[in-house]
Amino acid sequence: MALLINGIENRDLTIRSAGSISKLGFWDLYTIGLPLLLASGTIFITGGTISAMKFILVVPVFMGATFYGQKVGALTGVVGAGFLLGIDVLYSGVNVLYPDALLGALIVAVGWVFGGITDTETAYINNLAERVNRDSLTNLYNHRHFHERLQQSLQAAKHSGEPLAVILADIDDFKFYNDAHGHLKGDRVIVRVSRCIEDAVTGIAPEAVVARYGGEKFGIILPGRSSREACKTAEAVRHKISATPFDGAEHQPNGCLTVFLGIAAYPEHADSADELLALADHALYKAKFGSKNRVEVYSSVFDQLYRSLESPERRILHSVKTLILVINAKDAYTYGHSERVVKYASDLGAAIGLDEKDRSNLAFAAYLHDIGKVEIDRKVLNKCGKLSKEEWQLMQQHPVWGGEIVRSIPFLASLAPVIRAHHENYDGTGYPDGLKGSDIPLQARILRIVDSFDAMVSDRPYSKGKSREEACREILGGAGKYYDPKLARVFVEEVVGYKSLNARQHFELRQIGSCG
């Protein structure tokens, strides 16, 4: 009996659902079999066919029914009844056969009835637990359960060595829809979007966990999927929703209802649940402040720059990053802007043949080019209308302040002239110093182009960004006035890939370039 008690104390006696006989493990068989064996032994010792202890077989049957449900309880009862009838046939005869047959039937009935009660209770508990884990509006898993499943999935991924991806999705301009159509219709949209996400995801990854993360935000866990595979799933979600008709969606800024999605993966980007969610959220907001209706996989220019430095320089760069984060918090537009500028600048630097050291310096300058905005008030940075004369004069000082900040950092001091000059125009009409042509540092001329291009194509809270084609035409239109014409042509044709220049435009650009 001590062995039985020890076995029960050292295992989780979670109530099993009906139909789990084939899934019984060693401890399950131990829990049922040992009491059955002890009961049978007791009957043998106390007289066998004439024992007064035959009723003791009810104990293992009751345990099987209580722990494992109706099927296991009834099966245990059948085994117990079979034991009674077996010893009667072998050792006695008809004298006790009929009473034991009735007792056996009673034992089976005990297993069946109490097992049925257990199954009913289990179903009720499971249903209650499922309700607790579900969002009341969409019937997707809720925020709390999403976090629980993410922790479980991450532990399983670490144990198995498989990847794990997290996708966060948000509805573009949902506040605009709610304000225009009311919250009741907004709730209907959330429900329909949730169905679209569930259908798109489970069609590709049946093992995925889909949840309503909060408001119009959704979370998806993809066990065994890399960021590349998750990107395909996210694109399927994006296409599914943009192709689905929603009542009143034609009045949305995009002309239809769309979503933006951010992705982070283990072990590629992070190794903890909190960090995975933070990075997926980072990617989500890069998508939001980009062109919307898009999928963004987490990437960080800061991480790449950080890895290229020695330990003392890394500590300094961490402090610099804090300033960048302050600017991001103050100015919604600059969220992700610096990283996109780094990408464009690096591509343009490679296209014109800059060596590795110059490209590295260019990347640092691009990342830090707006650091001087830390001195400017949030209201000025986010003002929707035209800036006053005083506000514009203040804004024109941010390259100066940025240069001063960078000059104070020893390993970045050489970039101060670049950051100071990144708003200089090729014809000398820029600020703060009115530099002209080749007097403007090459890296600053690069930043002038890529900074302007990203500003043109990015959505603002009060206006939609231009198309890439429109932005390219504007860059080419400003060649020789605002931008270095040779760099403008390389950027548009080789970095952006816009080839729609006619022969006259090519001739004009070459003429401007030769004059510069």
What is the C-alpha to C-alpha distance for residues 321 and 319, in angstroms, rounded to an integer?
5
Q: Which amino acid is at 337?
A: H
Q: Could you report the per-residue pLDDT of 111-157, keeping only the tens digit for each?
A: 899 989 988 888 888 877 778 899 999 999 999 999 999 999 999 99
Contacts of 194 (CB under 8 A, 6+ apart): 138, 139, 140, 210, 212, 218
Q: Domains in the chain, please, with CATH?
A: 2-133 (no CATH), 135-299 (3.30.70.270), 300-516 (1.10.3210.10)
302 confidence band (pLDDT: 50, 70, 90): low
Look at residues 410, 399, 336 and name the one whose alpha carbon lies nearest to residue 367: 336
**pLDDT 10s digits, 381-437:** 878 778 899 999 999 999 999 999 989 888 888 999 999 999 999 999 999 999 999
How far apart CA 163 and CA 161 sit, in angstroms, is: 7
Amino acid residing at 439: D
pTM given for the model:
0.59
List, for residues 70-104, the tens digit of each pLDDT value: 888 888 888 888 888 888 777 765 567 778 888 88
SS3 call for 169: strand
203 pLDDT higher than 50: yes
50 pLDDT above the threshold of 60: yes
Q: Does residue 138 contact residue 212 with C-beta atoms inside 8 Å?
A: yes
Predicted pLDDT at 6? 45
pLDDT value at position 83?
Answer: 86
- The model's confidence at residue 18, banded by pLDDT at 50, 70 and 90, is very low
> With 50 as the cut, is the pLDDT of residue 4 above it?
no
Residue 430 structure tokens: 């820029």
Residue 312 has a pLDDT of 64
What is the model's pLDDT at position 14? 42
Cα 375 from Cα 423, distance rounded (Å): 17
Lowest average pLDDT, out of 83-92, 348-357, 434-443, goes to 83-92
SS3 for 85-147 is: HHHHHHHCCHHHHHHHHHHHHHHHHHHHHHHHHHHHHHHHHHHHHHHHHECCCCCCECHHHHH
Quickly count: other Cβ atoms within 10 Å of residue 63's Cβ: 23
